[in-house]
């Protein structure tokens, strides 16, 4: 994952965590998951803002 | 005379608007979280396992220390690169025996460091360990933690991967409240930690500056520790914040790794919370004075002096002052021009509605797992009365109708005098909620305290309770009250979800 959030080119060897148990995800996979989660927060912020807008619309439309 | 009165009115309205600044800053802080994905440090990470010394200060921790060591030995980290140093601060219980047994069980990994003279505080205990650990060149990184916290197996390696970038001096983790079964207080803290850690530290990451490495989860590179003097500050009550600031003023980056999770046992009573937070808040006041040269001033190698960070820091530190300012201004304005007071309050409270809805909903979405346990406390974080006023700002007509029905059922009529009286009480409540929440502390040890104390917190608000503690911290600091380390009692009730 690059600094501006771009994904690395496919085909590269996936790095693993040495010393980690076999069930542990690879390093790249773990980073991808973390970045996905962080991107998802932007969407969640948008949802929260939509809720705020909804509250304001209710206030203005029904209660002047 | 009329001009003077008009000037006073507008001055008071201005003060009410200024009182709304912390709300806007809180919104700004949470908006920054949405941009965290653009400031991630992962591009400079790689699997990285420096030889790490884990430093645990321990005073009378026999209930938790053995299990903590066992869990640390199960971290996903090469064991030949891990050493655990427990500094036993002249414990009077079975702590030394437990540590010695673990040292025998894990030879070469667990070390018992004993201080014969204890009680000098956490910083002195940590410095004892740091002196030993820095005494040889084995250690490449050091993890400072508390005796009771539970590290998720992958947490240390998720933190250490950032140290692959030599510019990074320290990394902290996401501390979550983990008391089980927990009670109303631990659930309030659970929600607070979403806002204060998961959200606030992400936004600070975006700004390129971290306010505080969690005391129970701070990983430092050796170079960083040596650059800041090889010791933690023992002159204040916020040694972790001082370390964080010093790391950044020395030109190194401090990072928050939100995906490294650490579970901590937090106070289950107001008395415990008060003791812990009074120490933290006094520490923050001390740090504010100690680093007075950085605030709102450009720093060549760090962002501590940025306007954004200064606003975040001072809005939180001065929040009780803002509440008192708004309350006093509105009450004064009520006597001069009650309709103008109502308009000013209405604008402020609609801003409050926006902040409340945005922050509460977004915070619960940030950590949905914790949110399932703490949603009720999240909704009542500002206090039941404040939530009712917020509702009245959004849906005034139905609530006025309910009020009239209630008054009518009690044989009363809603006269203009009544309405004005309620307005005045509402303005007073802006600050008085801190006092009501404080009553929870007063009631706790008394008869019916188990019922009354949570009731006061739910009515007055957990947020206002924290503000009341901040006020107490100011008072203690102004009076130069004795600065002692009141350790938070730990019972080992913390558990990571399976």
Q: Which residue has the tokens 């916290």?
A: B149
Instruction: Answer whether A16 touches B (CB < 8 Å).
Output: yes
Taking the Cβ of residue A48 and every Cβ of chain B, the question of whether any pair is shorter than 8 Å is answered with yes
> Which residues does chain B have within 8 Å of residue A14's beta carbon, measured at their own beta carbons?
none
Q: Which two tokens stand for residue B119?
A: 């009680």
Local structure of B141: helix, strand or coil = strand
- Name, in order, each residue with C-beta under 8 angstroms of B330's C-beta and a sequence gap of 6 or more: B12, B16, B341, B344, B345, B427, B430
- pLDDT surpassing 50 at residue A11: no
Q: Is A57 on the interface with B (CB under 8 A)?
A: no
Q: How far is B458 from chain A (nearest CA, A)?
A: 24
Provide, as residue numbers in chain A, all residues whose Cβ is less than 8 Å from the Cβ of B76.
17, 19-21, 24
Token pair belonging to B90: 């002249």
Our measurement of the distance from residue B405's CA atom to the centroid of its chain's CA atoms, rounded to an integer in Å, reads 42
Peptide bond into B218 cis (omega under 30): no
Task: Identify whether the C-beta of residue B60 lies closer than 8 Å to the C-beta of residue B95.
Answer: yes
User: Among B35, B42, B158, whose Cβ lies nearest the Cβ of A1?
Assistant: B42
Cβ pairs bridging A and B (under 8 Å): 106
pLDDT tens, B35-72? 999 999 999 999 999 999 999 999 999 989 999 999 99
B31–A44 C-beta distance less than 8 A? no
ipTM for the assembly: 0.91
CA proximity to B193, closest of B119, B92, B273: B273
Please say whether the beta carbons of B177 and B276 come within 8 A: no
Distance from CA of B225 to the nearest CA of A (A): 26
CB B248 within 8 A of CB B164: no
Q: From the CA of B4, how many Å to the nearest CA of chain A?
A: 33
pLDDT category at A17 given cuts 50, 70, 90 is low
Does the beta-carbon distance from A16 to B30 stay under 8 Å?
Answer: no
Q: What's the pTM value of the predicted model, to 2 decimals?
A: 0.92
From chain A, pick out residues whose CB is under 8 angstroms from the CB of B44.
Answer: 3
pLDDT of the residue at B491: 64
Whole-number Cα distances in Å, B207 to B212, B234, B303, B309, B317: 14, 28, 8, 7, 19
What's the confidence (pLDDT) of residue B482? 78
**Interval B174-215: pLDDT, tens:** 999 998 889 999 999 999 999 999 999 999 999 999 999 998
């Amino acid at each position: 994952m690059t600094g501006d959030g771009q994904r690395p080119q496919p085909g590269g060897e996936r790095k693993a965590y040495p010393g980690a148990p076999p069930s542990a995800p690879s390093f790249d996979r773990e980073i991808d998951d973390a970045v996905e989660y962080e991107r998802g927060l932007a969407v969640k912020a948008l949802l929260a803002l939509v809720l705020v807008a909804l509250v304001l619309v209710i206030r203005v439309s029904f209660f002047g | 005379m009329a001009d003077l009165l008009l000037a006073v009115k507008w001055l008071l309205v201005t003060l009410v608007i200024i009182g709304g600044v912390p709300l806007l800053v809180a919104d700004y802080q949470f908006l920054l979280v949405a941009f965290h994905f653009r400031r991630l440090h992962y591009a400079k990470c790689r699997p990285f396992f420096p030889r790490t010394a884990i430093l645990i200060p321990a005073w009378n921790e026999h209930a938790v220390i053995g299990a903590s060591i066992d869990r640390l030995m199960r971290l996903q980290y090469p064991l030949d690169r891990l050493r655990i140093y427990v500094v036993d601060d002249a414990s009077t219980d079975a702590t030394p025996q437990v540590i010695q047994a673990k040292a025998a069980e894990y030879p070469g990994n667990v070390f018992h460091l004993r201080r014969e003279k204890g009680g000098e505080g956490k910083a002195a205990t940590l410095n004892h360990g740091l002196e030993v650990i820095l005494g040889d060149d084995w250690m490449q990184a050091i993890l400072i933690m508390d005796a009771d916290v539970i590290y998720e197996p992958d947490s240390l390696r998720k933190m250490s991967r950032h140290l692959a970038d030599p510019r990074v001096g320290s990394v902290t983790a996401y501390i979550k409240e983990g008391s089980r079964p927990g009670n109303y207080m631990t659930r309030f803290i659970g929600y607070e930690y979403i806002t204060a850690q998961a959200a606030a530290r992400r936004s600070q990451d975006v700004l390129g500056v971290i306010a505080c490495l969690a005391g129970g989860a701070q990983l430092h590179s050796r170079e960083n520790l040596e650059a800041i003097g090889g010791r933690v500050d023992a002159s204040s009550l916020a040694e972790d914040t001082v370390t964080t600031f010093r790391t950044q003023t020395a030109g190194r980056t401090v990072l928050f790794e939100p995906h490294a999770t650490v579970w901590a046992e937090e106070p289950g009573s107001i008395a415990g919370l008060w003791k812990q937070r009074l120490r933290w808040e006094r520490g923050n006041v001390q740090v504010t004075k100690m680093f007075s040269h950085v605030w709102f001033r450009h720093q060549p190698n760090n962002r501590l002096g940025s306007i954004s960070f200064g606003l975040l820091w001072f809005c939180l530190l001065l929040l009780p002052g803002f509440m008192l300012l708004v309350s006093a201004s509105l009450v004064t304005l009520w006597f001069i021009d009650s309709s103008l007071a109502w308009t000013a309050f209405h604008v402020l409270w609609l801003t409050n509605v926006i902040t409340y809805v945005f922050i509460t909903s977004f915070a619960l979405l940030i950590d949905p797992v914790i949110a399932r346990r703490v949603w009720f406390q999240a909704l009542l974080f500002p206090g039941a009365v404040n939530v009712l006023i917020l509702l009245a700002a959004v849906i005034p007509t139905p609530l006025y109708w309910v009020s009239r029905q209630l008054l009518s059922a009690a044989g009363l009529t809603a006269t203009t005098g009544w309405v004005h009286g309620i307005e005045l009480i509402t303005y007073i409540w802006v600050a008085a909620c801190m006092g009501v929440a404080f009553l929870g502390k007063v009631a706790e040890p008394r008869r019916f305290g188990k019922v009354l104390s949570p009731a006061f917190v739910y009515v007055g608000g957990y947020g206002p309770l924290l503000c009341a503690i901040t006020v107490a911290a100011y008072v203690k600091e102004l009076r130069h009250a004795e600065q002692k380390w009141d350790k938070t009692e730990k019972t080992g009730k913390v558990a990571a979800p399976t």
